Amino acid sequence: MTATGTYAPKPGAAPLTRMIAAQAALETKMLLRNGEQLLLTVVIPTLLLVLFSTVDIVDTGAGEAVDFLAPGILALAVMSTAFTGQAIATGFERRYGVLKRLASSPLPRWGLMTAKTLSVLVTEVLQVVLLTVIAFALGWSPHGNPFAVLLLLVLGTAAFSGLGLLMAGTLKAEATLAAANLVFLLLLVGGGVIVPLDKFPSGAQDLLGLLPISALSDGLRDVLQQGAGMPWADLGILAVWAVVGLAAAGRFFRWE
């Protein structure tokens, strides 16, 4: 037997930025390749936007239906990626030992989480571009301060990510799959996405208004439909969800 030197040790971690970029690229690729994820993040929001804008199913109040619906659908897109999609993907990564394997690689845990966040943001940019183009085609005329919109989207992403990771890191993968889809459906109906909250009894309205999806869709609607300034109340609700969700995820997340 002769040593060829092929495997002679030469250990070392790649530079952090390269590791995180590689991880984010892989996570995004996995997401865009997954049919169920695309259904959730692209097909459903697109269908809902087109269907409810063109067919008069729900009374969306005065003005063009698309002006009411587009902000709600943008909120739904954020929830579908940051919460439902991320929870399901991470739940199965945990189940199949991917998180465990990566934990012994040179990539630090916070680097993995940063990469996941980048992957969510990249997906959201694609969603927003697609949905915005469709909404314009349907006659959407948005108003307001783009910075307020950006702030809402970022805080909404943080709030939903915290809740999604909390679920993925504590429940079994199958339970996460079921629960994340159920929550998606319930929040779609009861979170002011396509059905205005004022259709619900007044007691329920106050409670539903505190949900992260309601705060996000209401905030986006205030800005994009009504041209309001900073929707501080909604931003406040999202900030509380973000802090509580991310703290709980950080505390209770189990890697295997």
Residues that bind other proteins (CB under 8 A): 1-14, 18-19, 22-23, 26, 29-30, 33-34, 92-93, 96-98, 100-101, 103-108, 256
Of 18 and 143, which has the nearer Cβ to other proteins? 18
By CB atoms closer than 10 A (0-12, 13-18, 19+), residue 108 is middle
Of 32 and 48, which has the nearer Cβ to other proteins? 32
CB 253, min distance to other proteins, A: 15
Tokens of 32: 């865009």
- Cβ–Cβ under 8 Å, residues 162 and 253: no
For residue 240, the surrounding DSSP H or E stretch is: helix 232-252
Rounded CA gap, 8 and 161, in Å? 42
Q: How far is CA 38 from CA 90, 215, 233, in A?
A: 16, 25, 32
Of 11 and 201, which has the nearer Cβ to other proteins? 11
Cβ neighbours of residue 7 closer than 8 Å, sequence gap 6 or more = none
Of 1 and 55, which has the nearer Cβ to other proteins? 1
First to last CA, the chain: 40
CB 115, min distance to other proteins, A: 11
Of 123 and 225, which has the nearer Cβ to other proteins? 123
Of 100 and 143, which has the nearer Cβ to other proteins? 100
CB 211, min distance to other proteins, A: 31
Tokens of 141: 């005329």
3-state secondary structure (DSSP) of residue 11: coil
How wide is the angle at C-alpha 233 spanned by C-alphas 228 and 239, nearest 5°? Answer: 120
